[in-house]
Amino acid sequence: MPDQKSYKWFLDFLNQDEGHMHGLETILFAKQTKFQQMEIMATRNYGRCLVLDGKMQSSEYDEFIYHEALVHPALLTHPNPKKVFIVGGGEGATLREILRHKSVESVLMVDIDQEVVESCKNYLPEWHQGAFDDPRVRLEFRDARKHLEETKDVYDVIIIDISEPMEEGPAYLLYTKEFYKIVMNRLSQTGIISLQAGTTSLTALLCFSAVYQTLKSVFPIVRPYQAIIPCFGLPWGFALASKQVDPQSLSQEDTDKRISERITGDLRYYSGEIHQGQFLLPKHIRQHAERETRVIEDNHPLFAYD
């Protein structure tokens, strides 16, 4: 066994009192962009990783879990998704998974940080796998909230793939009641949104619970769920919200049938069994989320370390 004292380490702080250490081989690229500190590093256990403002975003070896969990529940729930909007999604892996759906005719990806996207194109090709070059894709670099406020376009699915709401970071106004109202107005009648909602760790449930309550203040149907993302060191929360379609109404058999009929290639993580099981949150998580009173608003934002 190598002498661990000789390792270089990256400490991913999960909260103020807890962290996850990664053995580090090298930092491939680092830059302070206009919006955030970006690092692309090679780790010993998880391969290449994207880190923003000191927080692990995804890793080469398990990003498929995060991105399949984020994308496919929403697109499979929708009866016939054709037009999709991505908020964020810098690595291009969310885009990659959306484009696997045969019904999708157009995808607009709006990310505020062009430097992150361009760096991911160069250093993380395994993530996007050429998705940015697909003729169905349009990529814009601007404030996604402002774009949705100004456009009259309507989307079948909106995927919100952004970092946690860090103070001074670019994402905190994309977790508020006001933002979710804008998103709802840009959805078709059978439209659905998907987003990551922070950890479901026992000691750090505020973000997940507050996002759930904020979504409930806007959408009639909200379904929280979780997945295990090994490189994060914690279980991770997600949520789906819609006007009328309910992801929990899909049976295991129906989900597997839609996967077979709609998706190009084989999924590595997602299945009908996973679709059913992911909504079965442990009692302590569900109780915490239901009892939470915090609704996130523009003038009362939530930060990951609140």
Tokens of 17: 């009192």
150 burial (CB, 10 Å; 0-12 / 13-18 / 19+) is exposed
Per the CB < 8 A criterion, the answer to whether 206 and 171 are in contact is no
Burial (0-12, 13-18, 19+ Cβ within 10 Å), 229: buried
Task: Tell me the CA distances in angstroms from 194 to 119, 180, 242, one per residue in order.
Answer: 25, 11, 9
Report which of 284, 297, 70, 271 is spatially closest to residue 174, judged by C-alpha positions: 297
Task: Give the distance from CA 23 to its chain's centroid.
Answer: 25
CA separation for the pair 143, 166 (Å, rounded): 16
C-alpha separations of 139 from 96, 144, 288 in Å? 13, 11, 38
Q: Which residues are catalytic?
A: 161
Place of tokens 């053995």: 23
Cβ pair 268, 126 in contact under 8 A = no
